Amino acid sequence: MALTLKPLVAALAAISAASAASSAFAQNQAPIAPQRVDPVTVTAKSAPILDAESADVGGFGAPLAKTPQSITVIGSDLLASTGTQTLSHVLKLDASLADAYNTTGYIESLSIRGFLLDQASNFRRNGLATSNYAPIALENKERVEILKGVTGMQSGVSAPGGLVNYVTKVPLKESFTTANIGIDERGSAKVHVDANTQLGGVGVRVNVSAERLHTPFDHADGERQFVSLALAKTLSSQTSISADFEYHRKSQPSVPGLGLLDANGDGVGDTLPVVKPRLNLNNQSWSQPFQATTTTAEVAVNHRFDADWNGRISANTQQSRINDRLAFPDGCSNATNYVYPGLCANGDVDVYDYRSEGEKRKVSSWDAHVDGKFNTASVQHSARFGLAGRSMRADLPPLQAYNYVGSTNIYTPVALPSDATPLDLNTNSRERAVEGYASLQSSLAASVQSFAGVRVSRLNRSSERSDGSRAVSYAQTVTTPWAGLSWSPTASTMLYASWGQGAELEAVPNRPTKFANYGQSLPALKSQQTELGVKWQPSARLLSTAALFNIEKPYADDVYTSALPTRIAGGKETRHRGAEFATTGRVTDALSVQTSLTVLDAKYSKAVDSSLVGQRVTNVPRTKASMFADYKVAAVPGLSVNALATFESGKTATPDGSVTLPRAWQLDAGVRFQTKLAGKSTLWRLNIENLTNRTYWREAPTTYWGGIYLFPSTPRTTRLSATFDF
């Protein structure tokens, strides 16, 4: 792919322009601090302090040490210290998170507590609905908040694993400009500028980034450009307004997964192939990049009514345009028995020319709520009452291409012809939701607090093929409550218990030749969670937590009473039981840590196919540990060293559990040195991902269409960056 340096030059030019603007306005006027009514964690940190006190994602506004929820906050300081640039890198920083079909050049997914998150309903941006169907840029994100478990109270109809909330950077009081320039050993290069100033009483913060992507995979180089603008204005002592705009474009060939080898010739893959960490079967002469362009706009108004009550109204819109193209290896027809899922024993695999050009996805959402405090008798309450709504639509091209073009081999790839003829109909979809919600936190005694919340969601969904056929539409109203109780025997310790529900909706595909009850909407599938936990805060900047949880999630399943199956709600169910342990914060002035351990038993407890009962859910680790530590070297002022160690075991690749991925561990390391260059503060970083260059199978997701794919570890990668303050 041809790639010019124009985006990098433009970003470098923005450094000097933003720096000059900051200096000029700092000299001519006193900075004005934009107000924010909602909680804000510490910002503009150059070292991993790891001391977040609260998170918006929980829905109660209580300090993390005092809320009966499992929440992780990953700040921009930690992201920078670990060299984290993608969502899949974020997953390494918490043991409850795991990969879910994550590969270079494509959109990224994750699971929490063993449940795959829904790309359209389990992600938030500043508390508003956002889509994860396009790559996420982290340059303007102040922190990533992760709520674990059932989130029906916070997000309504959504998958039960958890909720991810991206919190963007806001204008700050002091003017500054920082520029970061980074490279890696393979020739990747990145420039990122973060500039903050005041213009006529309006806080302005701009983030600009351009990146050239060179990967260890064959034929997978790409590029990306990113621009964001955040504005904030104090209208009065009670009212402030803010706005946020974002543009992100990424173009990069994706790297498809491999499959299990069919060693015994029965038509189903059953054997792990040798790890080939640099192989990319999307390496035909006609292969084109996956491209995504996303724009986001958001506006919010905060108003304080009095000392006890304030309100917030916010709205956003996000539009994505995607060109999804891939030489897709899947199945094998070169054997006596057609192999699916999997590859032939000799490594042969069929290849399809897949192209879906000009996909359009749009998400719009709004939220209005009030927060306040009041007393009843001798009990003090904190409450939130709100209304919210969202709409989502996917308009895909009338036809897509998915054409067999021959077979290749994972050991000796073969050049194949292309066939981009669009022959297959696409499916367009619509979704609208209106929700009312309330939460209440009550101090029942000096050491006892209760938490309760509920959300009522009215959801409308519809879909149809590009030619108007197979139309399906349905609407349901669901109620998802949540309740918790906490007891603090000491000022630094809290024990809690909680219970909550989540809900998901589904309709049977409108395919008369495939289902007896085609087109039927199914009753809401309600998941339930119970959780017991303890939180201990031995110092103001150190928090240790432990939680035991049980989540039961129903699925739709097919029952055969005739030639065609009848799909029923709740025909299948999984039970995820686990224990989580975490310690985050400053152990000493020199040592900061973020460590976590998750032990998870995720099994099918009910299924139409009795052989599935008792089997582990695929691609879910039984044990995962993540340990990050950062140490400031006293003998060398400004020098810090850090390391991130991760460990996983127990991931199964097949429904019957016959194939399990070997235990995997990885060590990343980093060095940070703060000094002055030409009188300006300069921060140098060296990060090495996969220090020991281990090769292993990282994940083995099973897709909704039945495919099983293998994704390898990333080879050792060394990155060097410098951050300059102006």
Q: How confident is the model at residue 561 (pLDDT cuts 50, 70, 90)?
A: confident
The pLDDT value given to residue 566: 96
| Region of residue 489 (left: phi > 0; alpha: psi -120 to 50; beta: else) | alpha
Widest CA span in the chain: 81
Per-residue pLDDT tens over the stretch 247-283: 999 999 999 999 999 999 999 999 999 998 899 999 9
Evaluate if residue 362 carries a pLDDT over 50. yes
DSSP-assigned beta bridge partners for residue 388: 367, 435
Within a domain: 662: yes
| Mean pLDDT calculated for residue range 597-615 | 96
Q: How confident is the model at residue 20 (pLDDT cuts 50, 70, 90)?
A: very low
Neighbours of 575 (CB within 10 A): 15
* Structure token pair of residue 579: 């224990």
* Structure token pair of residue 462: 């519809």
Cα torsion 5, 7, 11, 17: sign: positive
Within a domain: 146: yes
User: Where does residue 146 rank: exposed (0-12), middle (13-18), buried (19+ CB within 10 A)?
Assistant: buried
Pick the more confident residue, 33 or 323. Answer: 323
Pairwise CA distance, residues 719 & 470, whole Å: 50
This prediction's pTM: 0.92
Q: How far is CA 88 from CA 105, 127, 180, in A?
A: 12, 21, 22
Per-residue pLDDT tens over the stretch 142-154: 999 999 999 999 9
* Structure token pair of residue 603: 């099994």
Evaluate if residue 383 carries a pLDDT over 60. yes
Within a domain: 519: yes
The pLDDT value given to residue 15: 35
Strands 222-234 and 424-425: unpaired
Q: How confident is the model at residue 47 (pLDDT cuts 50, 70, 90)?
A: low
- Which of 4-18, 542-556, 651-665 comes out lowest in average pLDDT? 4-18
CATH number of the domain to which 55 belongs: 2.40.170.20
What would the DSSP string read from start to end of 64-114? Answer: GGGSSS-EEEEEHHHHHHTT--SHHHHGGG-TTEEESS--TTS---EEETT
The pLDDT value given to residue 12: 37
Q: How far is CA 175 from CA 5, 22, 28, 578, in A?
A: 29, 6, 12, 46
| Mean pLDDT calculated for residue range 309-335 | 97
Q: How far is CA 233 from CA 24, 172, 202, 313, 532, in A?
A: 20, 11, 5, 15, 43
Per-residue pLDDT tens over the stretch 424-439: 999 999 999 999 999 9
The pLDDT value given to residue 66: 93
Torsion of CA 411, 417, 420, 426, to 10 degrees: -40
| Mean pLDDT calculated for residue range 53-74 | 92
Q: How confident is the model at residue 61 (pLDDT cuts 50, 70, 90)?
A: confident
* Structure token pair of residue 241: 């307004």
Per-residue pLDDT tens over the stretch 167-223: 999 999 999 999 999 999 999 999 999 999 999 999 999 999 999 999 999 999 999
Domains in the chain, number: 1
Within a domain: 1: no
Neighbours of 460 (CB within 10 A): 15
Q: Which segments of 501-549 does DSSP mark as H helices, in order?
A: none
The pLDDT value given to residue 54: 85
The residue type at 654 = T
| Mean pLDDT calculated for residue range 543-555 | 97
Per-residue pLDDT tens over the stretch 153-175: 999 999 999 999 999 999 999 99
* Structure token pair of residue 646: 């991760």
Among 440, 430, 431, CA closest to 389? 431
Per-residue pLDDT tens over the stretch 80-110: 999 898 999 999 999 999 999 999 999 999 9
Strands 261-262 and 343-344: parallel
| Mean pLDDT calculated for residue range 627-645 | 97
Evaluate if residue 594 carries a pLDDT over 90. yes
| Mean pLDDT calculated for residue range 232-248 | 97
Pairwise CA distance, residues 417 & 400, whole Å: 18
Query: Average per-residue pLDDT in the chain?
Result: 92
The pLDDT value given to residue 285: 96
Within a domain: 526: yes
Pairwise CA distance, residues 513 & 510, whole Å: 9
Pairwise CA distance, residues 193 & 184, whole Å: 18
* Structure token pair of residue 495: 């024990």
Q: How far is CA 145 from CA 3, 42, 167, 210, 666, in A?
A: 34, 14, 8, 25, 24
- Which of 12-21, 95-104, 584-593, 595-604 comes out lowest in average pLDDT? 12-21
Evaluate if residue 37 carries a pLDDT over 80. no
The pLDDT value given to residue 251: 98
What would the DSSP string read from start to end of 569-618? Answer: EEEEEEEEEEEEEEEEEESSSSEEEEEEEEEEEEEEEE-SSGGGTTPBPT
Q: How confident is the model at residue 35 (pLDDT cuts 50, 70, 90)?
A: very low
Pairwise CA distance, residues 477 & 484, whole Å: 24
The pLDDT value given to residue 49: 64
Evaluate if residue 40 carries a pLDDT over 80. no
**473 contacts 460 by C-beta, under 8 angstroms:** yes
What would the DSSP string read from start to end of 269-286? Answer: --BPPPP-TT--S---TT
| Mean pLDDT calculated for residue range 227-234 | 98
Percent of the chain topping pLDDT 90: 89
The pLDDT value given to residue 45: 46
Cα torsion 298, 360, 222, 693: sign: positive
* Structure token pair of residue 115: 């449940």
Torsion of CA 247, 252, 253, 254, to 10 degrees: -60
Provide the domain limits for residue 127: 6-725
Pairwise CA distance, residues 475 & 434, whole Å: 11
Pairwise CA distance, residues 423 & 401, whole Å: 6
Cα 642–Cα 645–Cα 648 angle in degrees, nearest 5: 165
* Structure token pair of residue 84: 């984290």
* Structure token pair of residue 704: 């909704």
Q: What is the C-alpha R_g of the chain?
A: 26
The pLDDT value given to residue 6: 42
**214 contacts 104 by C-beta, under 8 angstroms:** no
- Which of 337-341, 381-385, 702-706 comes out lowest in average pLDDT? 702-706
53 three-class SS: coil
